Structure formats: C-alpha cells, structure tokens
Chain A
C-alpha cells in the first residue's frame, strides 16, 4: 500500500479537483466521470433525505433519486452552483428539494435519464440502513443530509482502503482496523489484538496507524472532489476532522 503518494504537509492529497471544476471544465468523458463521483458521494444522502425528510415510499424515493441525478446531468443545473452562496452539499440538497417539488407539481412519474452515467445504486442496502436507525425523531433536513453525507463519504473511503489492503496483501491491516476502529468489542485492546494475530503491540499500532492514514487520505481526497470549491473543502475538512488546512 502506498503511504506517501501525493501527500502534502497537512496530511491530505491534493490530487482531485472539485466536482464542479471537473464538470465545468472537463471533456465529455471527464464530465461523465465527475458525475460518477458525484453520484457515488451523494446518492445515499439524497435517497435517505427523500425517504426520511420527505417521507416518500421506497419506490418513489428510488425513482426520484435516479431521476434527480439523471436530470442534473442532462440539464447541467449543478453547474450553476456559486461557491460564495452556500456549501455544495447544501446546494445539492436544495436542488433535490426543488426537484421533488417540481415532480409533485407535475404529478407524473419521471422518466429515467437514458443511462447517461451508470452507477449501481444499492437501494436495498440503503433501506436496511434506514431501518437500522434508532427510533428517535428524525433530525433536521440539513443535519440529516450532513450525517448521511459523512456516512457515505466514510463508507466509500473504508471500502477503498479495504480494496487497497487486499490488493497489496495487507488484509491483516484492515482486519485490525475493523476490529479496533469500525466495530470494536467492549474488551478490545492493542495487547489483545496482538495476541490474537500473533503480532507485537507495536506492530498492531503501526498497522493501525497506516490504515487510519490511508483512510484519512481517501476520505479527504473524496471530500475535495465532492466540494464546490477549495475554500469549502477546507471548511468541510475542519468540521469533519478538526484539521486546519492552510
């Protein structure tokens, strides 16, 4: 696993431009790829927002989620984002709200967008996540959208790190990460994991540090891609990790 690729002093890679830059400036392929990243980062927050805040049925929410991204791609209205006015995340949510309102006004089902960009959307998985939510009052729309945005971001970063670990013969690194950070047992400790995996405690902490670093790099890289501007990315990074990136 590469640990030092494209890192800067702040411990984050500066490899990816913001999604808006890529959508606006890129070729058709680049735009399509940028849209793929955008859908990957935002479809779950949008879907859950429609299900929980708008109280749509799963079928309607699925149709509208797919319709929303298809429409955004075809009509280019995400390109109208102005960084000075709001965070891109908020802009996406407001666009989704407007899209739902328009759809209701039209009182007709939206036609899907002609497979402009194919990204498998695991709606069943999203439904399981909604069902697993604690039975409390739903949070405010912005808060919910943010929570789900972060969850999706981290989820994708964890998946990427896992794939990377497996690819580089470091499955044990990820297993330690999973046992210590993702789903820790009550009695988990470095010493216990060292015993379990026949490692030294120092190896356990070093392996964990490596995976955590890659997780942070993946999450920040994806976050940079999903923000509307560099300034917004810095704000989001500060909110998310308490990191000041000058």
Chain B
C-alpha cells in the first residue's frame, strides 16, 4: 500500500468523525458547515428519499452542549414559518450524541448574495423578507440574538431563511438561551460569552445591540438593532463598525430616508429604536414603494418630489390631458 498522502490524512481526519446513525435511515454525504456548537452534514434520508441537513454537536459526551442543541431543536420546532428552517427529526447517534434533522436549505448566505450586487429595490425586498420570520419569532416570544448576514440564507428565487437559532432566548417562560462557547473562546473578545443567564453576552460584534454587548438584560429590540446592522451591510456592502448609526448618516450614496431608517434601527438606546420589527420593515417597505417613512422628516420639496416620483404616471396622464384640453381650446376655440 502506498503511503498516505497529506490529502488522504486530512480526509481521514474528517470522515472518521462523520456521524453514524444506528437506524441506517440517514447516510452522510458531506460536511456542509461547522460552527461553535456543532457540525452540519448533508445527508440522504433513505426512507423518504430526500436530502436533509443534520446538525450534530462536536462533543461526544457533554450534557451542556447536548442541552443546547436540544433547546435549539425545540425553538425550531415551535416556530413554524416559511422563513425558519423546519425540523424533521431528533435522535441519537450510535455513540450517544443527540442530533436533529432539518430541511436542506439550498442557496447562499446573505454575505455571499451581496457579492452579486443586487439592485436597491431587490436588496430591500430581501431585507423585508428577513424581517418576517424574526417578527414571527418575536410574536411567539423568541428572540434570535445573533442575526447577521452569515445566518441568513437566500435561495435562488429570493426566498429567505433565518438560520442558526443556537443562541435564541424565549422572552417569556423558561430561558432557552444557547451560548456559543467556542465562538467566544475563538474570538477572545469580552463581547462574547458562554453563559446565558442575565449578564450573559452572546452574539457577534457589530451586529450586537449595546445592551446585549454589555451583558445587560435585553429584549426583542436587540434583534431590531441587529436587523439595522444587517440593513447597514446591505446598503454599504460592508460590516458595521462600532458607531454604525453615525456612520450611516454620513453616507451620501445612500438615500436620506434609508439612512434615517438605518440610523433609527441602530440607535444605541433600545427606547430610541423602532419598538418592533414590523415597524422597521414597514418603513423600509414604505421607502421602496414611495410612501412616507416614519423615521425621516422630509422637506416640502422632498415630499413633492417623492409624490411626483410615486405618482408620475398619473401625473403625466393628467398633464397630457390638460395639455390636450388647452390645445383643443386654442384650436377649436372652446
């Protein structure tokens, strides 16, 4: 036998830990993602003949991590929405690890999608679709707490899925929070943490609300901030910095009402932000369709121009009609 090449050694390291399903129902095809909590595999469901994604924790025997994965599965099972990946099955591997099976999501992350440079209306439509499942989750008492472009998948027809509810927390009832210990360890930043009690810090810098970053008690408005940071990324095509609210206001290449919407969502104090995700989504939709944006006080000139843009067909028709009447009056004297 010829000696193992570097590539073979690397592959053996990978495949040796692929999960083994005692039932034989699922067969793993490849690893498609790896995060702080676990690894996601593309697998084939031999009973139903379909592709699925299976999430497995890294740790073979760790009650804490297992509990976290279980919690995420419960959150997903509770939130049935087209923008939230549905969960199909939960079980245990031959080695005792918990796993859950979810729909295989085709598409790319929002970050990759942005590289295709979609136009502004399309970008805003995508943003509104991101808001929908988040608003739905809030209505069911669940806060995502780690919204960022990497956690949003965009399908080839523009459908949007909000992923990775691993640090989600139920705003009522028992805490269902899940921290990303590995991510915190990797980041080595005080803005990351591994506990989920009040005072706990979870999330990603730049996309995390100040109250979340400081470890103070946060609510659904922390997600409003994160959505504002995503909107910033969509508009500026760059990750938000430490003072994104001020930075977006200086961006002259972004329409003023959009700057105002973004800055309002990114307000450092939760009380000064949009108080709900639907309110934010509504403002974005208003801008996209030429309506009035609540976060922006427009001048009379701007308002006139906006109305003119919105109703330009009707105005043109009316002007044409008036011109025709004038011409008729002049020519025929009546």
Q: Which residues of A contact B (CB under 8 A)?
A: 7, 9-11, 125, 128-129, 132, 147, 150-151, 154-155, 158-159, 162, 181-184, 190, 201-202, 205-206, 208-209, 212-213, 215-216, 219, 240-246
Contact for B3 among A9, A125, A219, A246, CB less than 8 A: A125
Q: Which residues of A contact B61 (CB under 8 A)?
A: 9-10, 244-246
Q: Per-residue CB proximity of B79-119 to A under 8 Å, as 1/0?
A: 00000000000000011100000000000000000000000
Q: Is the CB of A155 within 8 A of B95?
A: no
One of B8-16, B197-205, B284-292 at the interface: B8-16
13 additional A-B pairs beyond A190-B27, A212-B15, A216-B16, beta carbons within 8 Å, are A9-B60, A11-B94, A129-B3, A132-B3, A154-B8, A162-B1, A182-B4, A202-B24, A205-B28, A241-B16, A243-B17, A243-B59, A244-B62
Which residue of B4, B46, B60, B96 contacts A151 across the interface (Cβ within 8 Å)? B4
B-chain residues with CB within 8 Å of residue A205 when the two chains form the complex: 27-28, 44
Does any Cβ of A come within 8 Å of B20's Cβ? yes
- What's the nearest-Cβ distance from chain A to residue B24, in Å? 6
The count of chain B contact residues (Cβ–Cβ below 8 Å) is 30
B247 CB within 8 Å of chain A = no
The 4 closest A-B CB pairs, nearest first, are A205-B27, A11-B95, A10-B60, A244-B59
Question: In this assembly, does B29 line the interface, its C-beta being within 8 Å of a C-beta of chain A?
Answer: yes
Q: Which of B34-83 contact A (CB under 8 A)?
A: 44, 46, 58-62
Report yes or no: A206 in contact with B4, Cβ–Cβ below 8 A.
Answer: no
Nearest A residue (CB) for B24? A206
Contacts of A244 in B (CB 8 A): 58-62
Mark out the residues of chain B between 139 and 182 whose CB falls within 8 Å of any chain A CB in the assembled complex: none
Q: A213 contacts B20, CB within 8 Å?
A: yes
**B16/A209 in contact, CB under 8 A:** no
User: With the chains together, A219 CA to B9 CA distance in Å?
Assistant: 12
Chain B: minimal CB distance from A221 (Å): 13
Q: What's the Cα separation between A151 and B62 when bound, in Å?
A: 29
Contact of B16 among A147, A155, A215 (CB under 8 A): A215
Q: Name the residue on B nearest A190 (C-beta).
A: B29
